[in-house]
Structure 1
Amino acid sequence: MTRTMADLPVFAEIDDPAWGLDFAWVTEDLFRRDYQGPMRTSWGDLVVYRNADIAAIQKSPAVSHQSMDTILTSFGHHEPALTSLEEFFRYSTFSMQQPQHMPSKRLIMPPLAPAAVSPFASDFAHLVRERIEAAVDAGEVEFLNQFARPVVGAFWSRALDIPLEDCHRLMRLAHDFIGSFLLAPTEEELGIADRGVRDYIDLLVPALRRTAERGSSPMVARLLADYGAMDGGVGKPADPIHHFALALVDGFNTLASGLAALVHALVAAGFDVSTPPSDIGRFATQAFMEGSRLHPPVALTMREAIDDLVLDELLIPKGTSMVVLWMLGNRDPEFFPDPDQFRLERENRIRQYTFASGGYVCAGRNVFQALGEVLLAELATAQVLIEPAGPPTWIGGSMTHELSSLPLAFRRTSRVSGSDDATATVRRG
């Protein structure tokens, strides 16, 4: 018998202001309840959290990104109007539906592909080694702000040929913009986000245009070459530089927190990196996959039914907004036994939805993985003992899954050489 949305239980946890501060309850409670299936929010959206249901949703042609109009309507009426947020959601692939989405996504993905990132791997490894030495000398560091964000800013400065101070400012502005991804943003938070995205666009777009004129960034050069080869028509952006700048918001904000979360997962599991693994490349890849399974940078994204569909005998009408909890699907014990444990070896990696999946997969996932593996490899070859120096803190009430602080203690066990060779192994792997 077909069910309707009104028949579903309410997923009340998402209304809690503490949402996102701790996900231990997921496998202790959520996946042990008698009812296992789609739910709904208190405001009427569909909630999908089981791995099998997420797989069905992401494969369905009747499911797309949540539209710009729906997103902006959810913000309510504001004075002054949120014109900069509207610009972002109008021209970003984040809210594009077909037929515009795929051509736009195909344009921004090659500049962020492994081949585009690999020329900067050695530089990034050097930056990481410098930070490791500084952390050992200091004894304790707040890893997110004193390690991850500086190396990410330096990476983008070199990759895009933009002054380092501009990259640091872009990271602050992108973080302001993420306020629009809070589940219940206040008017003040939306105002900060609107101003943040305006200043972000006004800083990054001209900087990328100057880089394009110099021809000094392979990433930007690839973007413009591919744009020139695109057929006209639906889906071809009017301005590739503006389009690429909007796509980099996560790179300037979420990337650093994602790298910090990888290290947190390793340290929280009690994994001792002071003794280098025999195969650094394999270790780095496995540790990246498992760390990002447990702590993906994004906990959930919104989707929308663009046609009627049925999921688990549930009729989902056209226009229904959906909360897709990718992070919870990553902890579904049906596919990941002992899901809260950190295991380098796991089956069902194909069912891991760290970056969503299908046509709406995250465009920047290769940058995160490439830099994440270099970071993990360097930590594993430095022969340093890394331990918690205090509890980590997370941003609550958000669609993202972001650390706000990660205090760690670094202690040297012995000095070794050959870390350059270890990094090369990761790049080949």
Structure 2
Amino acid sequence: MNNLGPAASLRLGSQIQAAKATNWLLGGLGDLLVQVENPKWRENPYPLYEQIRQKGPLYRGLSGTWATTSHALCNQVLRDRRFGVKNADGSPVTGGALGAVANTYPESFLDQDPPDHTRLRRLAAPAFNPKRVDGYRPRVQQIVDSLLDKIEGQETFDLIKDLAAPLPITVISDLLGIPDADRGDFAEYGARIGEGLSGVHSIRQAKDLIHVGSELVALFDRLLKERTKDPGDDVISSLATAVGEEKMTARELHGTAMLLLLAGFETTVNLIGNGVHALLAHPEQWAQLRDKPELAAAMTEEALRYDPPVQATMRIAHADIELAGETIKSGQLVGVMLAAGNRDPEVYPEPDKFDITRTGGPEHLAFSSGIHYCIGARLARIEGEILFRSLAERMPLLRQAGPLERRESSTIRGLRAFPVTAKFPAQRSQ
């Protein structure tokens, strides 16, 4: 299905139009979950999350999908093995146009329930053990310093294109063993796939997503063959060994490598963009970080809590489950609203306040929870901490220099463009 023929295009077009019509109808009838996808909430979805919260710990939309904004319930659903990411029979949950596109991609362990999830994650985990990840600190600092050296002295620069994207792309590409010549399109690929997670809205987008997927699969298949013959000290070489030992298939390697690549920089790009946006929108917090750059680690955690890159995820019940006084029937979907859980007033005092000195409360849900907890969380935290500290030390005058451009997605929250300047403001003539 890499090239959509007339019949497939017609079928996809019908699915897209049907989904749009259904969402328009349900949204008009007051389904708050459907309204999350409305572009009017893209700038600030948090008031809508609060409307859902006011309906109780569990909200059921008109489509029959449940959702929770409660931190405790989000955590419970993510940890309960009776909920999965696939149907109980192992078939994909996602249908319609998004499902048709997703089916052209190789599955990763993020798309799997145990035992396949356990097997595949275990093969990738050694690359992200604490000792190895901590060993990347000097390399991350070196990359940050190099990027800041390039942009220092410029009148304005784009925080996303010039800083937030190149840092994690370089780090995760080093870790995976991606040749320099193959890294150029990764930021754009990640942005397109991230926006697709909120749904496929046109035939053109569907074709684009399928093309991106096929390009990445071709890259990883080529690297698999190269590293089988000439292995190195990188993740793809380790996975190629696992393929040779029949611990995973080549298709599973493609899916695992794609997940690590995209998740490895997508989360961090948006952590940096959202975090700097929050800092500059709260000058007193930016001043605190400038005065005490050692707050950078705490700043990273607060940025992840306050405006997380991944806003929500979905689980499906594999059995009838009692939850918060309601019965979730087997086969019913539950939206786990991570960003809303991160602002749950039951566990975070003044949850809508951005406070880089915040202490207490449970761990935020930005990296999910349970068996699908983000495998690269430690690496993302290190990248965020080093970059925020370096900005405070080297660019204390940093401020926004033009309008933002947001990503067209409700699931992955981030910025496409963020013009900033670190120069003194021009003096007004008297």
**Separation (CA, whole Å) in 2 of partners of 1:184 and 1:44:** 21
Percent identity, aligned pairs only?
21
Q: What does residue range 87-236 of structure 1 map to in structure 2 within 5 Å?
A: 87-88=104-105, 91-183=107-199, 185-207=201-223, 209-211=225-227, 213-220=229-236, 223=239, 227=242, 236=247
Partner of 1:54: 74
**Separation (CA, whole Å) in 1 of partners of 2:271 and 2:366:** 11
> Relative to structure 1, is the Cα distance of residues 259 and 272 closer, same or farther in structure 2, using a 3 angstrom cutoff?
closer
* Counterpart secondary structure, 2:350: coil
**2:97 aligned with 1:65:** no
Partner of 1:382: 394
**2:415 aligned with 1:395:** no
Deviations 1:366-417 (A, max 9, x none): 221121122122223325321122343322443111212222221389xxxx
* Counterpart secondary structure, 2:314: strand
**Separation (CA, whole Å) in 1 of partners of 2:184 and 2:330:** 42
* Counterpart secondary structure, 1:253: helix
| Per-residue deviation, 1:164 | 2.3
**Separation (CA, whole Å) in 2 of partners of 1:119 and 1:201:** 29
Deviations 1:52-98 (A, max 9, x none): 221221232211114474444233786xxx4xx32535x31122112
> Which amino acid counterpart does residue 249 of structure 2 have in structure 1?
A
Which of 230, 235, 238 matches 2:249?
238
> Relative to structure 1, is the Cα distance of residues 24 and 136 closer, same or farther in structure 2, using a 3 angstrom cutoff?
farther
* 8 Å contact kept, 2:268–2:384: no
> Relative to structure 1, is the Cα distance of residues 208 and 287 closer, same or farther in structure 2, using a 3 angstrom cutoff?
farther
**Separation (CA, whole Å) in 2 of partners of 1:255 and 1:64:** 26
Which of 58, 81, 93 matches 1:38?
58
* Counterpart secondary structure, 1:322: strand
> Which amino acid counterpart does residue 204 of structure 1 have in structure 2?
F
Partner of 1:303: 315
> Relative to structure 1, is the Cα distance of residues 218 and 77 closer, same or farther in structure 2, using a 3 angstrom cutoff?
closer
> Relative to structure 1, is the Cα distance of residues 17 and 27 closer, same or farther in structure 2, using a 3 angstrom cutoff?
closer
**Separation (CA, whole Å) in 2 of partners of 1:190 and 1:144:** 25
* 8 Å contact kept, 2:310–2:411: yes
> Relative to structure 1, is the Cα distance of residues 117 and 287 closer, same or farther in structure 2, using a 3 angstrom cutoff?
same
Give the stretch that moved more between structures: 190-199 or 67-76: 67-76
Which of 98, 103, 107 matches 1:86?
103
* Counterpart secondary structure, 1:304: strand
**2:44 aligned with 1:22:** yes
* 8 Å contact kept, 2:280–2:399: yes
> Relative to structure 1, is the Cα distance of residues 304 and 380 closer, same or farther in structure 2, using a 3 angstrom cutoff?
same
**Separation (CA, whole Å) in 2 of partners of 1:107 and 1:238:** 12
Give the stretch that moved more between structures: 42-51 or 9-18: 9-18
Give the stretch that moved more between structures: 216-225 or 58-67: 216-225
List structure 1 segments (4+ residues) > 6 angstroms apart after TM superposition.
none
Which of 267, 272, 275 matches 2:286?
272
**Separation (CA, whole Å) in 2 of partners of 1:324 and 1:183:** 17
> Which amino acid counterpart does residue 48 of structure 1 have in structure 2?
T
**2:370 aligned with 1:358:** yes
* Counterpart secondary structure, 1:115: helix
| Per-residue deviation, 1:103 | 2.0
**2:275 aligned with 1:259:** no
**Separation (CA, whole Å) in 1 of partners of 2:292 and 2:145:** 20
**Separation (CA, whole Å) in 1 of partners of 2:424 and 2:382:** 26
**Separation (CA, whole Å) in 1 of partners of 2:179 and 2:257:** 15
**Separation (CA, whole Å) in 2 of partners of 1:106 and 1:274:** 40
> Which amino acid counterpart does residue 209 of structure 2 have in structure 1?
A
Give the stretch that moved more between structures: 194-203 or 164-173: 164-173
| Per-residue deviation, 1:292 | 0.9
List gaps (5 residues or longer) in structure 2.
1-29, 426-430
**Separation (CA, whole Å) in 1 of partners of 2:326 and 2:320:** 11
* 8 Å contact kept, 1:293–1:354: yes
Q: What does residue range 307-386 of structure 1 map to in structure 2 within 5 Å?
A: 307-382=319-394, 384-386=396-398
**Separation (CA, whole Å) in 2 of partners of 1:319 and 1:76:** 19
TM-score scaled by structure 1? 0.81
Give the stretch that moved more between structures: 170-179 or 304-313: 170-179
**2:298 aligned with 1:286:** yes
RMSD: 3.0
> Which amino acid counterpart does residue 411 of structure 1 have in structure 2?
K
**Separation (CA, whole Å) in 2 of partners of 1:272 and 1:253:** 24
Partner of 2:19: none
> Which amino acid counterpart does residue 244 of structure 1 have in structure 2?
T
* 8 Å contact kept, 1:21–1:396: no
* Counterpart secondary structure, 1:359: helix
Partner of 2:17: none
> Which amino acid counterpart does residue 262 of structure 1 have in structure 2?
G
* 8 Å contact kept, 2:313–2:337: yes
* Counterpart secondary structure, 1:18: helix
